[in-house]
Structure 1
């Protein structure tokens, strides 16, 4: 759910922290397999199928990963990550903990509310309570492709209550009375991800009160008009991670394509997908694949994951591509499927640059991967060198292999700007944070961010960042080893 800017290195530790757990398919042809098996009539060669599968995986991975969250949060009512049915808001009354595993690199600053929207029959109206001008909140609106197509936030509401209509691609009505803004989704299924700032643990009841005032209703109910006919029922396939990481990936993609309206810029890609049996609404029959064709598709998936590794090592590690490049509207992404793929791989549902800035710590000041089983670390902010923000900033700790929060004796998963009053200052007024597995000592525990006993990374988030953060004229301090 979170966008990262990580100084990645092409190393074994990097692969462990960010890549290895994503690469679960073969990357080389099976021993003895021909380089390009003979094709049946109308069937692509193995080499051609492999190339198509690679492009299909890069382009389609965000959709399938998005469906994973849709299924777990809105459809799998007996599952541990279920929140609310379609077109109803579910709430997480607490911030994320290590027990929350549905989304990697979760944000633990803001309790979440979740709304999966089915916009086929009619639009939905989201009602936001008066938030005041001090509390950060946002409603990130994400389509099936994972484009952030808009936001409802402080910049839009100015802290006042408002009603916002979310319409699917086929709605052609006028702005109804009482609606402050009409916002259109490119896809008929979309996601509204609410973030409500928690100032401190004592503030939780206030956050719950605000969450209870978030409201969603069909346009007909809001306007007091007859409801339209219900849309056709959808037979949503259960999400199975093993299937999604095998050739079954293409089955999920085929299922999703009817709900992902074709953009003209992707027409040629869609034609290529059809050559390997990925056709909108048509079941993908993996049992009909020949052994050579099955291996070609798996090799294509492996090639896509290799492409991500190379991209991380050569583009992101050199800061040529930043997190701000990988999340946003379709217009912002400019058809760059690799950027969208990398964003979904790192942490799906990253915010657009104007809403939040993310900078990752994956290596220390000497460029070595972070490992708290071998070293202790310190992060020192000078007296006047804290992250410039219009709202707040935080530093959150993550386990490297799982990309989840770290269980620890303090139940502390982050240190943020609302905690500044409780942090111990250095003699010169600066602040030193201790990122390590064992306690740095009682006198320093106020500034301790517990790490796992192994590889980890940390994310510096800045909500409503000031311009000097976005343009990188403000430079974050390095993470120094102390042991």
Structure 2
């Protein structure tokens, strides 16, 4: 994953210039087969998987998994109903596993192997379902808020607050992103009246407290007054989720000596 920091709207042209300068190179090979989307019919999906595996053989560490999956990676014939049931079961397992996250003081912290999943296929599936991909923790740490009742989701129509200390243990930047939750466990940005989908140290006009700490306000409607400058809009309706990202985290964040305060609901 390559991430380009855009320091506000005025920096967009320069960021695009940086992006156009990236080059990815590798050995010359035949173009791989086209891949199907995750919602493709199971029979077609696994036929596509066979073609992709033939074009790009798996690593040696995946041999055991490939052997266990040999039945699905042959030409068939297959029981279509059983395949559909298996796909549904896998999605349910991934969704259930993502809901069994351990929260520490209101946040879930990534496993050390994030970005280098190896044979931890369950963890990789959850990351693929919720975020497509992830950077390793030395580059970025992703913390998901516990939400209401440690569900990972917020449902309230009231006002929430996250207080951050004046200094965070990181050498990059940070952001708090808002996501609308879908019934199948995916998360997307939601339209809002100020076109703010995340708030972070590059957000212009943030108002800090006298001691340098920062109160971020989360609600479906503008909290008003001085709080508006630090407002992260929530979706107009339905459950939502928040992820806090820290880039180039320092040792005390990586090893758990530093923990964030939780997001709390407060009187409006």
Retained in 2: the 8 A contact 1:372–1:436?
no
In structure 2, what is the equivalent of residue 424 of structure 1?
207
Describe the shift of the 1:399–1:256 C-alpha distance in structure 2 as closer, same or farther (beyond 3 A). same
Structure 1 Cα separation of the partners of residues 158 and 266 of structure 2: 7
Deviations 1:430-453 (A, max 9, x none): 221111110001432110000102
The alpha-carbon deviation at position 355 of structure 1 amounts to 0.7
In structure 2, what is the equivalent of residue 457 of structure 1?
241
Structure 2 Cα separation of the partners of residues 450 and 357 of structure 1: 23
1:439 aligns with 2:247: no
Instruction: Give the alignment of 1:349-388 within 5 angstroms.
Output: 349-364=133-148, 367=150, 370-371=153-154, 374-382=157-165, 384=166, 386-388=167-169
The alpha-carbon deviation at position 300 of structure 1 amounts to 2.3
Task: Find the structure with the greater CA-based Rg.
Answer: 1
1:392 aligns with 2:173: yes
The alpha-carbon deviation at position 326 of structure 1 amounts to 4.7
Describe the shift of the 1:272–1:380 C-alpha distance in structure 2 as closer, same or farther (beyond 3 A). closer
1:243 aligns with 2:51: no
Structure 1 Cα separation of the partners of residues 38 and 26 of structure 2: 33
1:324 aligns with 2:111: yes
Describe the shift of the 1:348–1:477 C-alpha distance in structure 2 as closer, same or farther (beyond 3 A). same
The root-mean-square deviation of aligned C-alpha atoms, in Å, is 2.8
Aligned residues: 260
- Determine which structure has greater relative contact order: mean sequence separation of CA pairs < 8 Å that are 6+ residues apart, divided by chain length: 1
Structure 2 Cα separation of the partners of residues 267 and 436 of structure 1: 48
Describe the shift of the 1:346–1:441 C-alpha distance in structure 2 as closer, same or farther (beyond 3 A). same
**Runs of 5+ consecutive residues of structure 2 not aligned to the other structure:** none
The alpha-carbon deviation at position 411 of structure 1 amounts to 0.8
In structure 2, what is the equivalent of residue 63 of structure 1?
none
Structure 1 Cα separation of the partners of residues 131 and 40 of structure 2: 21
Residue 374 of structure 1 aligns to a residue whose secondary structure is coil
Structure 1 Cα separation of the partners of residues 213 and 40 of structure 2: 51
Retained in 2: the 8 A contact 1:326–1:340?
no
Retained in 2: the 8 A contact 1:398–1:406?
yes
Residue 90 of structure 2 aligns to a residue whose secondary structure is helix
In structure 1, what is the equivalent of residue 88 of structure 2?
302
Instruction: Give the alignment of 1:237-316 within 5 angstroms.
Output: 239-243=36-40, 246-276=42-72, 278-279=73-74, 284=75, 288-289=77-78, 293-314=79-100, 316=101
In structure 2, what is the equivalent of residue 198 of structure 1?
6
Structure 1 Cα separation of the partners of residues 199 and 134 of structure 2: 20
Deviations 1:436-482 (A, max 9, x none): 11000143211000010221111111111111111121111111112
In structure 2, what is the equivalent of residue 98 of structure 1?
none
Structure 2 Cα separation of the partners of residues 232 and 381 of structure 1: 50
Residue 7 of structure 2 aligns to a residue whose secondary structure is coil
Structure 1 Cα separation of the partners of residues 26 and 95 of structure 2: 43
**Runs of 5+ consecutive residues of structure 1 not aligned to the other structure:** 1-139, 141-193, 220-229
Structure 2 Cα separation of the partners of residues 351 and 440 of structure 1: 34
Retained in 2: the 8 A contact 1:356–1:461?
yes
